[in-house]
Amino acid sequence: MRESPKWYACAVFAWTPPRKAFLVGVAALALAVCPAPAQSNPGAQESAPTPPAPATPPAPATYVGSETCGACHEDIFKGLKANRHFLLESDKKRGWETKACESCHGPGSKHAESTAAADIQNPARLTAKKSEQSCLKCHANQPTNVGRVQGGHGRSEVACVSCHSIHKPHSEDLLKGRSAAINAKCAECHQSNWAQFQKPFHHKLPENAMSCVDCHNPHGSSLRASLQTANGNESSCFKCHGDKRGPFTFTHAPVQMDGCQACHEPHGSANPKMLTRHEERFVCLECHSNIGAPAVAASGTLGGVPPAIHDLRLQRFRACSTCHQKVHGSHIDRALTR
């Protein structure tokens, strides 16, 4: 079959001037002979690719039981058996029977298959808030955690696992309450406070005769510095210094208003009796000095000038407690001399 003429040939004949009449017919013939350019058919649409099928979500992990965990983590599981948290292994009330490990670490079926750390929940690597939620599933609404929100540890987001080890035997855990272990743990963060206990006059913490939790509640308290209370919400100092607690007929105002810290450094001091000043008289003169109004000075109370016989240049008047022995309060004398 003879090949059809091209469009450019048709255009040449159509625009030759001398043969206008002839070329009009040739142009008409060219339109009949030359094929029209191929045009896309808007009705014919290419078939769209088939979208991939949605991926099937992986099956959630399931509980496998503590015996499965103990097959690989033998040493940890053996230590857990000697810890009080192993009681969860028989806890039917909360639904953790035979699942003591997974009560904190979550379902372990995927981890048991892959042994990958990413397939198990590790409270030590979680944020403090999420780690705390794991502990509070059992330890919520307990007396030790009542002040958790107000306490410094809670505000600073210190996780429970920062101080407590769940896997260690009970005899090695802080829950046992050994003074040496508690003091060493607190000193890891509170280094400035621990340095105060190295001063000449201090509470007997370096000797392990007492611990930080004797005065402070590590889980929080409504009092400042998370202080413990004793004898009906009184200062924890009175647990040991019971002879200083009232009520007294004649009280010393700073004891009631500011507490023991008004005159003493509770952690340690370079001054005798753990006083805030190196001489006793300077502690007293912070309040009992010539700073008050005449009416207040005449009453002999706060801001009053000591009597003329109190010549502080003499050695015998430089220790106020020589005469005012009952500085914490008295049942007999308003001047606290007896």
Q: What is the pLDDT of residue 277?
A: 93
CA separation for the pair 42, 309 (Å, rounded): 118
Residues 270 and 316 in one domain: yes
Residues 258 and 321 in one domain: yes
Give first-to-last CA distance, the chain, whole Å. 139
Residues 6 and 72 in one domain: no
Q: What is the pLDDT of residue 235?
A: 81
Contact of 111 with 119, CB cutoff 8 Å: yes
Q: What is the pLDDT of residue 149?
A: 64
Residue at 152 is within a domain? no
More confident residue, 2 or 272: 272
Q: Is the pLDDT of residue 29 over 80?
A: no
Q: Which domain holds residue 316?
A: 246-338
pTM greater than 0.75 (yes/no) = no
CA quadruple 264, 266, 269, 272: dihedral sign: positive
Residues 77 and 7 in one domain: no
Residue at 164 is within a domain? no
More confident residue, 128 or 2: 128
**Among 2, 62, 54, 59, residue whose Cα is nearest residue 33:** 2
Secondary structure of residue 84 in the 3-state scheme: helix
Q: Is the pLDDT of residue 254 over 80?
A: yes
Secondary structure of residue 121 in the 3-state scheme: coil
CA separation for the pair 244, 327 (Å, rounded): 9
Q: What is the pLDDT of residue 197?
A: 95
Residue with tokens 């670490």: 105
Domain count, the chain: 3
- For 186-234, what is each residue's pLDDT tens digit? 999 999 999 999 999 999 999 989 999 999 988 887 788 888 887 777 7
Residue at 7 is within a domain? yes
Residue at 155 is within a domain? no
* Cβ-based neighbour number of residue 205 at 10 Å: 25
